């Protein structure tokens, strides 16, 4: 159950644990860590300070740019998905900062965050097209 957009924990196989003393971070990844069920309730993010809301939006956009700016060729559908999600962040960010109780804007931000982290917009950099031999 999310309380901040952009955590990624709702749909990704990745996890980060931070030891606050010294701010040491360690990551773990694996299919066993990917949730089978998530609750994305925009109302639970309404009490976030504007700075944390903006930081979440920025993080979502950064993850989307990582997927967009790859060397992988011929991923038109992926590129158009990423562009749509970036445009959503550009549209919804100012709306939710102006009105922290805007449920619809927060819902769109949460959904975009899920898409940014669950690899539905991913393209593996460096993958080559298979060579067909005659």
Task: Say if pTM beats, i.e. exceeds, 0.85.
Answer: no
Instruction: State whether residue 132 is helix, strand or coil.
Output: coil
- The confidence score (pLDDT) of residue 131 equals 43
Cβ neighbours of residue 111 closer than 8 Å, sequence gap 6 or more = 40
pLDDT along the chain (134 residues), means of 10: 70 81 86 84 92 94 90 89 97 97 96 87 57 42
Domain ranges of the chain: 14-117
Span 46-71, pLDDT tens digits = 999 999 999 999 999 998 998 899 88
- The confidence score (pLDDT) of residue 18 equals 83
| CATH code for the part of the protein at 14-117 | 1.20.1090.10
């Amino acid at each position: 159950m999310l309380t901040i957009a952009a955590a990624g924990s709702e749909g990704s196989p990745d996890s980060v644990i931070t030891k606050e003393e010294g701010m040491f971070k360690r990551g773990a990844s694996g299919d066993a860590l990917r949730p089978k069920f998530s609750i994305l309730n925009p109302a639970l993010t309404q009490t976030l300070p504007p700075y944390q809301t903006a930081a979440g939006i920025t993080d979502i956009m950064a993850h989307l740019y990582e997927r967009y700016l790859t060397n992988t060729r011929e991923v038109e559908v992926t590129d158009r998905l990423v562009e749509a999600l970036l445009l959503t962040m550009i549209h919804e960010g100012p709306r939710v900062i102006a009105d922290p109780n805007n449920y619809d804007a927060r819902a769109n931000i949460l959904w975009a965050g899920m898409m940014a982290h669950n690899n539905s917009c991913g393209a593996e950099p460096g993958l080559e097209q298979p060579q067909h031999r005659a």
